[in-house]
Amino acid sequence: MKIDGIDKKIIRSLIKDARIPILSIARDVGISGAAIHQRLRKLEKSELIDSYQMKINPKVLGYTTVAFVGVFLETTAVLSSIIKRIKEIKEVVECHYTSGNFTIFIKVLCKDNEDLMLLLDTKIKIINGVSKFETFISLNQQIDRQIHI
């Protein structure tokens, strides 16, 4: 996908604030609102813009523990059934099939460490095909950003 300087300015504005009015972007970039709309449609059609999302602060809702769980499987033949079960766990916010030591690497949000232990014991450990897992608690997130455009 080839993008020019104007596209980059539009994207950077939206990454900074997805609710910014189109006319504000148009003024900053120096082209019409209609031209901004056309460029956005082109970027969406190319799938460079995947979605426009609101971001919730989980701490405000009481989710203070962020953890990563590396999951070892008995065999990768059960991968799809395990992913299906993991999708049912509301605390799981990301799930990755990996090439490292773990077959699956998941990110979970929990109210506290006790809630995390309960999640591991009652929802992860009991999944058929999970042989073992390793948990890493995040002490503090240092970087959270989109890829640079």
Reported pTM: 0.86
Q: What's the pLDDT tens digit per position in 26-56?
A: 999 999 999 999 999 999 999 999 998 888 9
CA pseudo-torsion sign 124, 129, 132, 135? negative
Question: How many CA atoms does the CB half-sphere of 111 hold within 13 Å?
Answer: 6
How much is the average pLDDT of 122-142? 96
Q: What tens digit of pLDDT does each residue of 87-115 get?
A: 999 999 999 999 988 999 999 999 999 99
**H or E element that contains 116:** helix 113-119
Ordered alpha helix ranges (H), 3-50: 5-16, 22-29, 33-45
Nearest Cα neighbor of 107 from 40, 51, 58 is 58
pLDDT at 18: 92
Question: What is the Cα 78 distance to its own chain's centre?
Answer: 24
